[in-house]
Structure 1
Amino acid sequence: MQIKAAVARVQGAPLSIEALDIEDPRDNEILVKVVATGVCHTDLVVRDGMLPTPLPVVLGHEGAGIVTKVGRAISKVDVGDHVVMTFNSCGRCPSCQDHHVSYCHEFFPRNFFAARADGTSALSKQGERINGNFFGQSSFACHAICHEANVVKVDAKFDLELLGPLACGIQTGAGAVMNALKISAGKSFAVFGAGSVGLSALMAARVVGAATIVAVDTNDDRLAMARELGATHTINPTRVDATEEITKITGYGVNFALDTTGMAAVIRGAVMSLAPMGTCGILGASAMGTEITLDEVHFMSGGRRLMGIVEGESVPEVFIPMLAELNAQGRFPFDRLVKFYSLDQINEAIHDSETGKTIKPIVRMS
């Protein structure tokens, strides 16, 4: 079958809209007609060559759509089901067996190597291999092949065009608060970076009842949005020292901090903003080899903790439908972050994401 897709061919260059061939799904695969796909920072990091994904490749890993074909071994979904495609996992390693699928021992090859487990790709163009299976989907396309491990069935009552970002960015931010940090009512929380991930974390902190919610960002428009979504305080670090300001607000530092930037200096500041026994989570993608420097005495003497978080430590089959329901109830309004683009406008969507013009772009495939 021939499909329309956005192909990354050159590091840092615009994606090209091309007609590709896609194979029929194998016995253990699912073909999804993609309705819409979120644009995530990770897509841009990979396009720019900062992670080991081969080119040419079809990126996209926040796809939502309708199942059109299933392999003979598939029992989780059927033709016509509405689904969200999330990150892939092996299902067999100790982490997967313990229901910690975001820490799958094969997370990198299953998600970043853009190939099936046997090294093949379902995508091609006139005999040229186009790498696919990025995050088990490659959903910058009108159709994508995914797997039982990374497909999540959702109720048809939800707006399918809106749900794609729940697969990664929104899930990551909200899950960091709800699943990894496990912030409880009355606690204090600071998020560094008020993009889609950070604002999702902020909304989740409000859902769980955090008493003090601080958003830190250099973009005043993002800070204004943060206040509308539930931040009790906002800080622009170009004007004041964020750590000092957080200490003034709380008296001793926050119980929890979350860095979404992946920048070593910001992470250090987030850790310095912690109260004794406080925990800082980090989840921003950065270049391989990036190192973090901490004040050892401050870190050790206060019993502070630093933890990495992948995909919000969620169980997608449970967490994605829960976030969709919270949105439907008006308690988790991530729809306020999005702007829609057509597939032909995908480079505009990427540009608007990079420049901060749009918090969360979603690309419609129709």
Structure 2
Amino acid sequence: MKISAAVWRALKEPFSIEEVDLEKQRENEVLVKIVAVGVCHTDVAVRDGEIPMPAPAILGHEGAGIVISAPTDSEFEAGDHVVMSFAYCGRCNACLSGRPSSCVLFFPQNFQGHRQDGSCCHSQNGNRIHGNFFGQSSFANYAVAEARHLVKVPNDLPLEKLGPLGCGIQTGAGAVFNWMKPEMGSSFAVFGLGAVGMSALMAAKLFGCDPIIAVDVQPERLKLARELGATHTINAKVDDPVTTIRSLTLGFGADRVVEAIGQPQLVNQCVEAARSRGQVALLGAPRSGENIVFNSTNLLRGLNIKAVVEGDAVPRVFIPELLLLYRKGLFPFDKLLTFYDLVEINEAVSAMSTGKAIKPVLRMSTQ
């Protein structure tokens, strides 16, 4: 079938809206009409060569849409509303033990640009277009995905808002809910107030953390962080975050620290800002092959440092839990969203890169 998609053709080049062919879904795949898709820093990292993937390709991995057709033996049927999340094999020890984000095939499943058998479901004039990005390639008005990568969501919720739950929001909130699990009154600090960091902050509020300290360089984001639950904010252009965090925690450092940008120097600041035997969650994605060097003294403080991928979440369990909190007004992730049309994808990417938008969401046409 003919679809409209944002195609990435070369490193650091803008996306172009093109008509491409989408191969008929296979027996284990679901055809989804995309309603909206979030734009994530990972999409931009691939575009700019920070994470390797072949081009030309269709990216996009925070899709939300409506099922058009599904395998008869799946739990989905036409008309179901779904959020699309990351891909995993479903067969390795990690997947079978409820830890799909630690799938041994996570990178090939999500970044190799084709199905596991080497086939591509997208083409143009007979030429291969790489896809299967995060098992979905949802920068398009239609996508196919294996059923296990989809999460059914209630039809009465605003579907255009839900796509970012499949990656960025799940990543930030899940790091707190599924790994940190802070006790009430724990001190909490988050570095970087994009969608991931803001979601972690909102989760920390739900756990009763105090103080909740938010670090960024964008005044508007710091203002929103206060509205979402931060008790203190630090503009890192003005004040030293480590010194300030320690002064706010009786000199000890924060019990829980989240790094949500992926810069090596920031990782070291997070480690320095943590209390002895504290937790540091690394959620940002550094450039491929980039090294992070720790001061060896910090390794003697008993810190628990972990790279938390996709919030350590089982999407079919965790996303419905976040939606229950959203319905109750306790997790207002929609305050992070700014909407654009698919044809405005490059404007949306620019707005995210400059800090104008926290989480851009691309809406498809009604076609």
Q: TM bucket by the smaller chain?
A: over 0.9
Question: Which position in structure 1 is the counterpart of 2:146?
Answer: 147
Deviation at 1:14, TM superposition (A): 0.7
Question: Which position in structure 2 is the counterpart of 1:285?
Answer: 285
Matched ranges for 1:158-169 at <5 A: 158-169=157-168
Q: Work out the CA distance in 2 between the residues paired with 1:52 and 1:147.
A: 23
Paired letter, 2:71:
G
Paired letter, 1:2:
K
Kept in 2, the 8 Å contact 1:90–1:149? The answer is: no
Kept in 2, the 8 Å contact 1:34–1:65? The answer is: yes
Matched-pair identity in %: 50
Q: Work out the CA distance in 2 between the residues paired with 1:296 and 1:37.
A: 42
Question: Which position in structure 2 is the counterpart of 1:22?
Answer: 22
Q: Work out the CA distance in 2 between the residues paired with 1:71 and 1:7.
A: 28
Deviation by residue 1:309-337 (Cα, 9 ceiling, x = unmatched)? 10000010011111122112111111111
Question: Which position in structure 1 is the counterpart of 2:239?
Answer: 240
Matched ranges for 1:60-75 at <5 A: 60-72=60-72, 74-75=73-74
Q: Which secondary structure does the structure 2 equivalent of 1:214 belong to?
A: strand
Q: Which secondary structure does the structure 2 equivalent of 1:78 belong to?
A: coil
Paired letter, 1:33:
K
Q: Which secondary structure does the structure 2 equivalent of 1:362 belong to?
A: strand
TM-score by length of 1: 0.98
Q: Work out the CA distance in 1 between the residues paired with 2:116 and 2:294.
A: 38
Structure 1, unaligned runs of 5 or more? none
Q: Which secondary structure does the structure 2 equivalent of 1:321 belong to?
A: helix
Kept in 2, the 8 Å contact 1:212–1:232? The answer is: yes
Paired letter, 2:161:
L
Q: Which secondary structure does the structure 2 equivalent of 1:115 belong to?
A: coil
Paired letter, 1:71:
P
Deviation at 1:282, TM superposition (A): 0.3
TM-score by length of 2: 0.98
Moved segments of 4+, more than 2 Å: none
Q: Work out the CA distance in 1 between the residues paired with 2:181 and 2:19.
A: 45
Deviation at 1:76, TM superposition (A): 2.4
Q: Which secondary structure does the structure 2 equivalent of 1:24 belong to?
A: coil
Deviation at 1:343, TM superposition (A): 0.8
Question: Which position in structure 2 is the counterpart of 1:46?
Answer: 46
Q: Which secondary structure does the structure 1 equivalent of 2:57 belong to?
A: coil
Deviation by residue 1:3-37 (Cα, 9 ceiling, x = unmatched)? 00000001111101000111111001110000000
Q: 342-351 or 319-328: which moved more?
A: 319-328
**How many residues in Structure 1 have an aligned counterpart in Structure 2?**
364
Deviation by residue 1:124-162 (Cα, 9 ceiling, x = unmatched)? 111011111100000000000011221101111211000
1:255 corresponds to 2:255: yes
Q: Work out the CA distance in 2 between the residues paired with 1:313 and 1:298.
A: 25
Q: Work out the CA distance in 2 between the residues paired with 1:54 and 1:185.
A: 46
Kept in 2, the 8 Å contact 1:25–1:71? The answer is: no
1:175 corresponds to 2:174: yes
Question: Which position in structure 1 is the counterpart of 2:127?
Answer: 128
Question: Which position in structure 1 is the counterpart of 2:340?
Answer: 341
Q: Work out the CA distance in 1 between the residues paired with 2:308 and 2:240.
A: 26
Kept in 1, the 8 Å contact 2:29–2:70? The answer is: yes
Q: 33-42 or 147-156: which moved more?
A: 147-156
